[in-house]
Chains A and B, each alone.
Chain A
Amino acid sequence: MAILEGRNLRKTYRLSRRNTVEALKGVEISIESGEMVAIMGPSGSGKSTLMHILGLLHAPDPNHGPAPELYLAGENVATLSDNARTKIRARRMGFVFQDFNLVPTLTALENVLLACDYAGIRGKQAKQAGLDALALVGLADRADHKPAELSGGEQQRVAIARALVNKPEIILADEPTGNLDSDRSAEVLALFREFNREHGQTIVLVTHDSEVGEACDRVIRMRDGRIRDYGQRAAAATPVMAIPAVAATA
C-alpha cells in the first residue's frame, strides 16, 4: 500500500519579480508503506523541494497545469491549509535535518518532548515516550544534556529520537548524514535501517551520499526538477553492508 502518493507536483519559487526557478516540473511519486527510500540527485535537481512537499512543509503549486494530488494514506492533503498541514506534520510525520536542528536551550529530553507537545501529548505519558525514544537511539544517559554538550552524532540521534517519538507514519530526512563523519554517518544510517527493518518505519531520505543510497531499499534519482529513475525495490533479504549492528547502542 502506498503511504505517500503524489501526482502533478510542481513548485516554482519566485526569487524576484523577473527571476523564477522551476524547482519541480510535474513529479509523480509513490512511496510504499514500510519502504526506506533515498531521493538522490545533484544540487538544484529539486530533491529537497520534493521532500518539502512530501513533508507538507510546502504545498504544491495549484496553477499552470493539471491539479496536483498528494495522498497521505489515501487522504488528499495537497490543498490543505497551513494549519491542517502543521497538525499532520506534528502527529503523523517525523523530520530529521542536516544541521540536527535542536533547540539549544533545551535538554535532549526536552527537545524530544517538543514533538510530543506539538502532537498534543503531555505529562507522564510524553516523558515516558521521550525517554523510550532516547533509549532507542542509545542516548538514555544523555537525556539531561544540552545540545552543546553532545557530539554531532549524538545531536543527530537526539533529532532522530524527536522524529520517532510520536511513532509517525513516515520519517523524512534531509541530508541526515551531511554533517557527520563516515563513522557517525554509518551509525545514523544503521539506526534508520533498524527502525525500518524492525518496526516497519517508512523512511524517505534526501541525500548526496551514494553510501546512504546503497543502504536504502530503493533510490529515486532526480534531475532538473523531474524524476529520472524510480529505482528498483531491492529484495527485502538483501544484506546491508558496512553497517555495524552495535551502532545503535554505541
Chain B
Amino acid sequence: MRLLRDLGRRKLRSGLTITGIAIGIMALVVFGSMANKMNTLISGGSTYYKDKLVVTIGSQMSGNIQPLSIATVAEINKVDGVAIAVPGIEMLIGDSTGMSMGVPPMIAGILPGADRGLETFKMDVAQGRYLEISDAGSPVVVMGSDIAAKYHATIGGTVNLRGVDFKVVGILQPTLTAPDQEAIVPITEAQKLFVETLPPLVRSKLEPSEVATSITVYPKAGVSPETLKQRIDAAVPGYTVMTGKDFDAELGAIGSVFSAVLFGIALLSLAVGGLSTVNTMAMSVAERTREIGIKRAIGASRWRIRREIVAESAAIGLISGLLGLAIGAALTYLFNDMGRSSGNVLFLLTPQTAFTAIGFSTGLGALAGFVPAFGASRLDPVTALRYE
C-alpha cells in the first residue's frame, strides 16, 4: 500500500487526474452500454429475420405501417418454395412515440400456431402462458418484459391498449430485443385496433378480419430466402419483401455508427487521460528525483525504479477505471429505470464492457507511466542525490 501512500502525497493532483480519467471511462461505460443494447437489439432482429421473409407495403422500419389485404396470404402460399405464410399485425401502442431510440412499444397481433412449428425464434414465458389458438377473439395479451414493467402488468390483471382492456395471461422473459417492447395479442383483436387507426374513409371500406400489416413467410427447407424473394416479387408485385440479409444491411449500419462513436470516445479518453497521467507521473518523478537517487544509490536497479513508477501509474488507471465504472453503471441503471416507463431502455452494461473499461484504463495508466519511468530510471544516482 506504499503505492497508495505515494499517490496520496499530492492528493489534489492525483485526485484531479483520477477524476479526469474516470470521466472518460464513465463515458466509455455509458456509450458502451448503449452500443451493447443497440447491438443486442440488432442481432436479435438479425436472428429473428435470418430464416424468414417479411412482406409488407412500404418499409416497416420507417414506422409507416400500411394495411394489406389478407387475401395476399393465400397468393403467397401458392408461390413455389413457401412452406407457410402467416399474416400478422404490427402497430404502435401510442400514436406518437416521441423521441425514441431502439424499438418503440408495439402491439403485435399473431395467429398462434400458424407457423406450424417453423418459427425458430423462441420466446420463453416468465409467468403465465403464451397465446393459444383458442385465444382467438378474446381480449387477452402476453406482455414483453419491458412493456410489462411499464404497464405494471400482473397475470390476471388488465392493461388498456388503445382504449381496450386486455387480460394479461402471460409475461415473457427478457429477449433483449424487439419482443421486450411488444404487447402480443390474438390477431383478431389487433385487427380491430388497427382498423381504428386508419382514416375514416379507408376504415369504412375495410372489414377488420381482412386486414394485416405484414405477412411472415417461412421458406421450405433448402429454399434460399433470396430466391424466394424473387419469386414472391414476381407473384405479388408492389410489396416490399425483406429478407434477413436486407435487415442486416439496413440496421448493420446503425451498429457501425455506434461502434465508431464508442471508438472515438475511447480514443479521446486515451489521449486526454493518457497525457494527464504522463503529466502527473512526470511531475511526481521530478519531485522525487532525490528519492530516486537514494534508492538507486542503496541498490535499487533501473528496472526496479521503472516498475515502481509504472505500478503507481497503473494504480491511477485502475482507481480511475473503478470509479468511472461505478459512476457509469449507476448512470445506466438510473437512466434505464427512468426510461422504462417511456419504453426507452437504452443501456445494457455487460461484464465484458465492465472488464474492458477497467482493463483499458489500467493499461492506459501503465502505458502513460512508461515515459516518466524511463526518464527516472536513467537518472544518475549521484546527480539525483544532489538535486534540490
Which A residues are within 8 Å of any B CB, using their own CB? 52, 55, 57-58, 82-83, 86-87, 89-91, 93-95, 97, 99, 101-106, 110, 114-115, 118-119, 162-163
CB distance from A213 to the nearest CB of B (A): 23
Nearest opposing residue in chain A for B294, CB measure: A101
Is B6 positioned at the interface, with any CB of A under 8 Å from its CB?
A: yes
CB-defined contacts of B385 to chain A, threshold 8 Å = 97, 99, 101
Q: A3 vs B181: C-alpha distance in the bound complex, in angstroms? A: 85
Is B231 positioned at the interface, with any CB of A under 8 Å from its CB?
A: no
CB-defined contacts of A95 to chain B, threshold 8 Å = 297-298
Number of A-B contacts (CB under 8 A): 62
Q: Known contacts A103-B291, A106-B2: does B298 contact A114 (CB below 8 Å)?
A: yes
Q: Can you list 5 pairs linking A and B with CB atoms under 8 Å apart?
A: A90-B298, A95-B297, A99-B385, A101-B290, A115-B298
Nearest opposing residue in chain A for B304, CB measure: A118
Closest 5 CB pairs of A and B: A90-B299, A118-B299, A101-B294, A89-B299, A105-B5
CB distance from B285 to the nearest CB of A (A): 14
- Asked if A118 contacts B298 (CB within 8 A), the reply is yes
Nearest opposing residue in chain B for A101, CB measure: B294
- A105 contacts which of B2, B294, B301 (Cβ < 8 Å)? B2
- Asked if B299 contacts A87 (CB within 8 A), the reply is yes
- Asked if B9 contacts A162 (CB within 8 A), the reply is no
- Asked if B294 contacts A103 (CB within 8 A), the reply is yes
Nearest opposing residue in chain A for B300, CB measure: A118
- A86 contacts which of B2, B291, B296 (Cβ < 8 Å)? B296
Is B50 positioned at the interface, with any CB of A under 8 Å from its CB?
A: no
- Asked if A89 contacts B9 (CB within 8 A), the reply is no
- Asked if A83 contacts B302 (CB within 8 A), the reply is yes
Q: A103 vs B297: C-alpha distance in the bound complex, in angstroms? A: 13
Q: A55 vs B297: C-alpha distance in the bound complex, in angstroms? A: 9
- Asked if A57 contacts B294 (CB within 8 A), the reply is no
CB-defined contacts of A104 to chain B, threshold 8 Å = 291
Q: Known contacts A105-B6, A118-B299, A119-B299: does B294 contact A97 (CB below 8 Å)?
A: yes
Q: A58 vs B296: C-alpha distance in the bound complex, in angstroms? A: 12
CB-defined contacts of B297 to chain A, threshold 8 Å = 55, 57, 89, 95, 97, 101
| Most chain A CB neighbours (cut-off 10 Å) among B6, B9, B382 | B382
B20-63 interface bits toward A, Cβ cutoff 8 Å, 1 = contact, 0 = none = 00000000000000000000000000000000000000000000
Q: Known contacts A105-B5, A105-B6: does B382 contact A58 (CB below 8 Å)?
A: yes
Is B245 positioned at the interface, with any CB of A under 8 Å from its CB?
A: no
Is B208 positioned at the interface, with any CB of A under 8 Å from its CB?
A: no
CB-defined contacts of B304 to chain A, threshold 8 Å = 118
Q: Known contacts A57-B381, A101-B385: does B299 contact A91 (CB below 8 Å)?
A: yes
| Contact residues of B between 268 and 324, Cβ < 8 Å to A | 290-291, 293-302, 304
Nearest opposing residue in chain A for B303, CB measure: A83
Nearest opposing residue in chain B for A115, CB measure: B298
Q: A213 vs B250: C-alpha distance in the bound complex, in angstroms? A: 89
CB distance from A144 to the nearest CB of B (A): 14
Q: A115 vs B304: C-alpha distance in the bound complex, in angstroms? A: 13
Q: A110 vs B6: C-alpha distance in the bound complex, in angstroms? A: 14
- B9 contacts which of A55, A105, A110 (Cβ < 8 Å)? A105
Given A97-B297, A105-B9; 5 other pairs, CB 8 A cutoff: A58-B382, A90-B298, A91-B299, A99-B385, A115-B299
- A83 contacts which of B298, B301, B382 (Cβ < 8 Å)? B301
Q: A196 vs B296: C-alpha distance in the bound complex, in angstroms? A: 25
Q: A119 vs B298: C-alpha distance in the bound complex, in angstroms? A: 9
| Most chain A CB neighbours (cut-off 10 Å) among B296, B297, B298, B380 | B298
CB-defined contacts of B299 to chain A, threshold 8 Å = 86-87, 89-91, 93, 115, 118-119
Q: A103 vs B299: C-alpha distance in the bound complex, in angstroms? A: 14
- Asked if A52 contacts B382 (CB within 8 A), the reply is yes
B346-384 interface bits toward A, Cβ cutoff 8 Å, 1 = contact, 0 = none = 000000000000000000000000000000000011100
Q: A177 vs B206: C-alpha distance in the bound complex, in angstroms? A: 107
Nearest opposing residue in chain A for B293, CB measure: A101
Nearest opposing residue in chain B for A94, CB measure: B298
- Asked if B298 contacts A162 (CB within 8 A), the reply is yes
Q: A93 vs B297: C-alpha distance in the bound complex, in angstroms? A: 10
| Most chain A CB neighbours (cut-off 10 Å) among B5, B297, B304 | B297
CB distance from A215 to the nearest CB of B (A): 24
Nearest opposing residue in chain A for B6, CB measure: A105
CB-defined contacts of B300 to chain A, threshold 8 Å = 86, 90, 114, 118
Q: A90 vs B382: C-alpha distance in the bound complex, in angstroms? A: 15
Q: A248 vs B296: C-alpha distance in the bound complex, in angstroms? A: 28
Q: A119 vs B296: C-alpha distance in the bound complex, in angstroms? A: 12
Q: Known contacts A57-B381, A57-B382, A58-B382: does B295 contact A103 (CB below 8 Å)?
A: yes
Q: A52 vs B380: C-alpha distance in the bound complex, in angstroms? A: 11
- Asked if A89 contacts B298 (CB within 8 A), the reply is yes
Q: A101 vs B388: C-alpha distance in the bound complex, in angstroms? A: 12
CB-defined contacts of A101 to chain B, threshold 8 Å = 290, 293-294, 297, 385
- Asked if A82 contacts B295 (CB within 8 A), the reply is no
Q: A91 vs B296: C-alpha distance in the bound complex, in angstroms? A: 13
Q: A93 vs B382: C-alpha distance in the bound complex, in angstroms? A: 16
CB-defined contacts of A93 to chain B, threshold 8 Å = 299
CB-defined contacts of B302 to chain A, threshold 8 Å = 82-83, 86
CB distance from A130 to the nearest CB of B (A): 13
CB-defined contacts of A57 to chain B, threshold 8 Å = 297, 381-382
B134-166 interface bits toward A, Cβ cutoff 8 Å, 1 = contact, 0 = none = 000000000000000000000000000000000
CB-defined contacts of A105 to chain B, threshold 8 Å = 2, 5-6, 9
